[in-house]
């Protein structure tokens, strides 16, 4: 055994950031590359995965058939039972972890000579469906489709899979990609290993979140109650789409999210814009003044110290540069002439905290609107956080900035006395939100996964230093204090969260191979 140390940036909700230096036992020398496990060549993997395509589709079809909107607890329980069976018959010990919310399922299996334990995170619930918006009758009855000569998808008979599988065919149904597809990929990869009489090179824990699409309300509570059960050396999150190039992708972290709402004031009640136009101040002009002061024309935030502490070493720069993004494509997709200039490219822009107006409102625009001077104007913002920027600190910086614009910033709605005292008032409600996490590029988990994928695919994986969004699993990751990497497996155009969610069969194939690569790579 030897010590491997790594830096894992962790930022607590309370705000102050700390670099925790953890020392974990690794087993690379003792058990890594266990002699008892035969090597599977990439080619052999392809052959084995090909044999499992039909069983994988069938198992996915079976699982998708269970409705899984977490507003219906009975449905979720059926999904939990299905997973208990699926993991149980693969020799996993399963435990239903009860808590005041929907129960989590934990499946565990140890393997001889394995000393490390990897925790895999998936979720078994799906987004709600509105069946009439789908091109199939029942979003829970999976459909196979391929593009016809006209380029439009048309239904295929399931028998088509027996002859020759086209990787561009897709299976359509709720949760085919988000997130039941990846669960099946891991299960089938385990079956493949079993069929070759091989074992994974580490012990496995799988946690299935029953309500990720609702923000994972039970995750933190379950963690508190069952923390020991989750203990593991590394965590792999198999959720979300791959890079748009559809190349194997590793995502080393995700941004956090803080937020605030600001309200400016005019007269105490809406006033006739004729009788008081040029006399009663309009809250919209005040809100505009505050907002306009926050960013320059290039989209760079003007709040002092907003970008403090962010820098990139050569390795970070090269990792970002290696991501095959195409600015022209992105801008054409967004239909914008120019992007904001916070970073010099798309990946770099995600390394900085962002300041975004989620919504803005004053009185009524269009039908139902009156010729009035409104009583207030409101804007809601989110701040995407990076590990260098603590949520509470960012909210405080914004507050200071607004004060510098000449406003009295209150943490409560102004009363009559304050309205009569201060000409310009902002009522600000802030929340420090969810912090970011980012696992360093040069740490054992990152290096291990990069090697695992590089070895079995043609190219190095796309490595995303940090993804722009925030995932509900972050507080869980933090509380466990476990090095974590996201390994997304599904096609980016999978329509997740929308009607006609789908999984490309080529991604099902690649996903099984990715799981196999991970399971068989020495840590």
Of residues 247 through 306, those in contact with a copy of itself by CB under 8 A are 254-255, 257, 261, 266-268, 271-282, 284-285, 287-295, 297, 299
- Binding to a copy of itself in span 157-196, by CB under 8 A: none
CB of 424 to a copy of itself, least distance (A): 8
3-state secondary structure of 493: coil
Instruction: Give the one residue of 228, 371, 411, 458 binding a copy of itself; rule: CB under 8 A.
Output: 371
Nearest-approach distance from CB 209 to a copy of itself, in angstroms: 19
Closest contact distance (angstroms) between CB of 445 and a copy of itself is: 23
CB count, 10 Å around CB of 346?
16
Contact 232, 482 (CB under 8 A): yes
Instruction: Report the residue number, 247 or 451, with the smaller CB distance to a copy of itself.
Output: 247
Q: Which of 18, 23, 335, 412: binder of a copy of itself (CB under 8 A)?
A: 335
Binding mask of the shown chain, residues 461 to 490, with x at each position contacting a copy of itself by CB under 8 A: ------xxxx--------------------
Beta sheet of 203-209, edge-to-edge order:
93-97, 104-109, 203-209, 117-123, 234-237, 484-486, 249-251, 462-464
The verdict on 330 binding a copy of itself (CB under 8 A) reads yes
Nearer to a copy of itself, 147 or 333 (CB): 333
CB atoms within 10 A of CB 13: 15
User: Three-state SS for 376?
Assistant: strand
CA separation for the pair 158, 165 (Å, rounded): 11
Q: Which two tokens stand for residue 181?
A: 């597809």
Q: Which is nearer to a copy of itself, 111 or 265 (CB)?
A: 265
Nearer to a copy of itself, 454 or 492 (CB): 492
**Which residue, 201, 63, 37, is CA-closest to 142?**
63
Query: How many whole angstroms separate alpha carbon 518 and alpha carbon 523?
Result: 9
Residues numbered 193-252 forming contacts with a copy of itself, rule: CB under 8 A: none
Instruction: Name the token pair of 172.
Output: 């359509």
Q: State which residue, 274 or 324, has the beta carbon closest to a copy of itself.
A: 274
User: Which residues between 415 and 454 bind a copy of itself (CB under 8 A)?
Assistant: 416, 419-423
Q: Nearer to a copy of itself by C-beta: 16 or 367?
A: 367
Tell me the two tokens of residue 477. 């990751």
Give the CA-trace dihedral at 439, 444, 445, 446, to 10 degrees. 60
CA dist 94 and 92 (Å) reads 6
Can you read off the two tokens belonging to residue 419? 């309205």
Contact between residue 177 and residue 490 where contact means Cβ atoms under 8 Å apart: yes
* Stretch 21-60 residues interacting with a copy of itself (CB under 8 A): none
Peptide bond into 179 cis (omega under 30): yes
Q: Of 1, 30, 322, 332, which lies in the binding site for a copy of itself, with binding defined by CB under 8 A? A: 332
Distance CA 266, CA 365 (A): 17
Q: Which stretch binds a copy of itself (CB under 8 A): 92-100, 325-333, 474-482, 505-513?
A: 325-333
Q: Which stretch binds a copy of itself (CB under 8 A): 110-118, 125-133, 191-199, 375-383?
A: 375-383
Q: How far is the CB of 112 from a copy of itself (least distance, A)?
A: 42
CB of 348 to a copy of itself, least distance (A): 9
**Of the candidate residues 72, 329, 336, 413, the single one contacting a copy of itself (CB under 8 A):** 336
Beta bridge partners of 262: 379, 428
Residues 345-364 that bind a copy of itself (CB under 8 A): 346, 349-350, 352, 354-364
Compose the 379-408 pattern: x for residues touching a copy of itself by CB under 8 A, - for all others: xx-x-x---------------------x--
- Give backbone dihedrals phi and psi of 299, rounded to 5 degrees, phi first: 90, 5
For residues 2 and 335, which CB has a smaller minimum distance to a copy of itself in the complex?
A: 335
Which C-beta is closer to a copy of itself: that of 229 or that of 300?
Answer: 300
Size of the site for a copy of itself (CB under 8 A): 84
Complex with a copy of itself: residue 66 or 436, whichever CB lies closer: 436
**Coil, strand, or helix at residue 316?**
helix
Q: Which of 42, 215, 324, 370 binds a copy of itself (CB under 8 A)?
A: 370
Give the count of alpha carbons within 13 A of 115, CB side only: 15
> What one-character-per-residue DSSP string does 390-424 give?
-HHHHHHHHHHHHHHTTPEEESS---HHHHHH-SS
Q: Which is nearer to a copy of itself, 32 or 281 (CB)?
A: 281
**238 and 510 Cβ atoms separated by less than 8 Å:** no
Question: Which is nearer to a copy of itself, 32 or 299 (by Cβ)?
Answer: 299
The candidate with the shortest Cα–Cα distance to 212, out of 9, 486, 399, 474, is 474
Closest separation in Å from C-beta 343 to a copy of itself? 7
């Amino acid at each position: 055994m030897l010590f491997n140390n790594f830096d894992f940036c962790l930022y607590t909700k309370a705000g102050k950031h700390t670099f925790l230096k953890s020392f974990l036992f690794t087993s690379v020398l003792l058990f890594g590359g266990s002699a008892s496990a035969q090597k599977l060549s990439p080619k052999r993997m392809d052959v084995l995965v090909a044999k499992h395509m039909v069983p994988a589709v069938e198992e996915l079809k079976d699982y998708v058939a269970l409705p899984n909107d977490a507003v219906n607890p009975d449905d979720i329980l059926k999904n939990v039972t299905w997973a208990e069976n699926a993991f149980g018959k693969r020799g996993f010990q399963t435990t239903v972890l009860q808590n005041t919310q929907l129960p989590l399922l934990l499946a565990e299996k140890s393997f001889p000579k394995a000393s490390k334990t990897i925790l895999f995170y998936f979720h078994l619930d799906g987004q709600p469906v509105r069946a009439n918006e789908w091109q199939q009758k029942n979003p829970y009855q999976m459909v196979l489709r391929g593009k016809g000569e006209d380029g439009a998808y048309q239904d295929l008979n399931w028998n088509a899979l027996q002859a020759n599988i086209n990787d561009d065919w897709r299976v359509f149904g709720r949760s085919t990609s988000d997130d039941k597809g990846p669960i099946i990929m891991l299960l089938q990869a385990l079956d493949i290993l079993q069929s070759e009489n091989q074992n994974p090179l580490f012990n496995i824990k799988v946690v299935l979140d029953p309500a990720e699409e609702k923000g994972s309300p039970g995750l933190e509570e379950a963690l508190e109650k069952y923390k020991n059960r989750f203990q593991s050396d590394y965590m792999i999150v198999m959720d979300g789409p791959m890079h748009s190039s559809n190349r194997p992708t590793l995502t080393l972290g995700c941004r956090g999210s803080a937020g605030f709402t600001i309200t400016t004031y005019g007269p105490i009640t809406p006033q006739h814009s004729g009788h008081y136009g040029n006399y009663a101040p309009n809250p919209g002009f005040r809100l505009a003044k505050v907002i306009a002061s926050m960013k320059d024309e290039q989209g760079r935030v003007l709040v002092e110290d907003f970008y403090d502490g962010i820098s990139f070493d050569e390795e970070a720069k090269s990792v970002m540069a290696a991501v095959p993004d195409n600015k022209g494509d992105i801008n054409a997709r967004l239909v914008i002439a120019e992007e904001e200039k916070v970073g010099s490219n798309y990946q770099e822009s995600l390394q900085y905290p962002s300041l975004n107006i989620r919504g803005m409102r004053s009185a009524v625009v269009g039908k139902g609107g009156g010729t009035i001077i409104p009583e207030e104007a409101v804007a809601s913002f989110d701040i995407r956080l990076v590990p260098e920027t603590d949520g509470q600190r960012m909210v405080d910086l914004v507050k200071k900035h607004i004060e510098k614009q000449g406003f009295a910033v209150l943490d409560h709605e102004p009363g009559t006395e304050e309205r009569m005292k201060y000409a310009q008032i902002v009522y600000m409600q802030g929340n420090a939100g969810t912090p970011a996490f980012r696992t360093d590029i040069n740490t054992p988990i990152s290096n291990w996964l990069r090697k695992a994928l590089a070895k079995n695919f043609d190219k190095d994986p796309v490595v995303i230093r940090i993804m722009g969004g925030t995932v509900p699993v972050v507080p869980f990751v933090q509380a466990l204090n476990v090095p974590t990497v996201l390994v997304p497996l599904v096609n980016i155009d999978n329509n997740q969260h929308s009607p006609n969610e789908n999984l490309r069969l080529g991604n099902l194939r690649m996903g099984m191979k990715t799981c196999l690569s991970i399971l068989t790579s020495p840590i």
